[in-house]
Amino acid sequence: MSRFWNPMVAGLSPYVPGEQPAEQDLVKLNTNEMPFGPSPKAIAAIHAAADEGLRLYSDPESNGLKAAYARALDLRPEQVFPGNGSDEVLAHTFRALFQHGAPILYPDITYSFYPVYSAFYGLEAETVALNEAFEVDLADYRRPNGGIIFPNPNAPTGIALPLADIEALLKDNTDSVVVVDEAYVDFGAESAVRLIDDYPNLLVIQTLSKSRALAGLRVGAAFGDAELIEGLQRVKNSFNSYPLDRLAQAGATAALDDGEWFEARRAEIIANREALSAGLEGLGFEVLPSKGNFVFARHPQGDALELQRGLRARGIVVRHFDKPRTRDFLRITVGTAEQCEKVVEVLGGLLAA
Q: Which is nearer to ligand PLP, 118 or 344 (CB)?
A: 118
CB of 151 to ligand PLP, least distance (A): 4
Q: Per-residue string for binding with ligand PLP, 224-263, x by CB under 6 A?
A: ----------------------------------------
Rounded-to-integer distance, Cα 2 and Cα 6, Å: 9
Q: Which is nearer to ligand PLP, 218 or 299 (CB)?
A: 218
Q: Which is nearer to ligand PLP, 183 or 250 (CB)?
A: 183
- 326 binds ligand PLP per the rule CB under 6 A: no
Distances (CA, A) of 104 to 128, 232, 275: 10, 18, 38
Binder among 87, 186, 225, 258 for ligand PLP (CB under 6 A): 87
Rounded-to-integer distance, Cα 189 and Cα 163, Å: 9
> Residue 135: CB partners within 8 Å, gap ≥ 6?
159, 161
Q: Tally helices (H) and strands (E) across the chain.
A: 11, 12
Q: Which is nearer to ligand PLP, 82 or 103 (CB)?
A: 82
Binder among 155, 202, 203, 244 for ligand PLP (CB under 6 A): 155
- The closest alpha carbon to 32, from 352, 319, 353, 345, belongs to 319
- 334 binds ligand PLP per the rule CB under 6 A: no
CB of 250 to ligand PLP, least distance (A): 18
CB of 90 to ligand PLP, least distance (A): 6
- The closest alpha carbon to 205, from 117, 73, 63, 89, belongs to 89
Rounded-to-integer distance, Cα 58 and Cα 171, Å: 39
Side chain identity, residue 207 = T
Q: Which is nearer to ligand PLP, 136 or 183 (CB)?
A: 183
CB of 116 to ligand PLP, least distance (A): 12
Considering only the stretches 81-89, 189-197, 230-238, 265-273, report the one whose residues sit in contact with ligand PLP under the rule CB under 6 A. 81-89
Query: What DSSP string describes 134-191?
Result: S---GGGG-S--SEEEEESS-TTT-----HHHHHHHHHH-TTS-EEEE-TTGGGTPPP
- 182 binds ligand PLP per the rule CB under 6 A: no
- 180 binds ligand PLP per the rule CB under 6 A: no
Considering only the stretches 85-93, 130-138, 230-238, 303-311, report the one whose residues sit in contact with ligand PLP under the rule CB under 6 A. 85-93
* Residue 257 CA from chain centroid, whole number: 21
> Residue 8: CB partners within 8 Å, gap ≥ 6?
none
- The closest alpha carbon to 30, from 190, 155, 217, belongs to 155
Considering only the stretches 16-24, 63-71, 80-88, 97-105, report the one whose residues sit in contact with ligand PLP under the rule CB under 6 A. 80-88
* Chain contacts with ligand PLP (rule: CB under 6 A): 85-87, 111, 151, 155, 181, 183, 207, 209, 215, 220
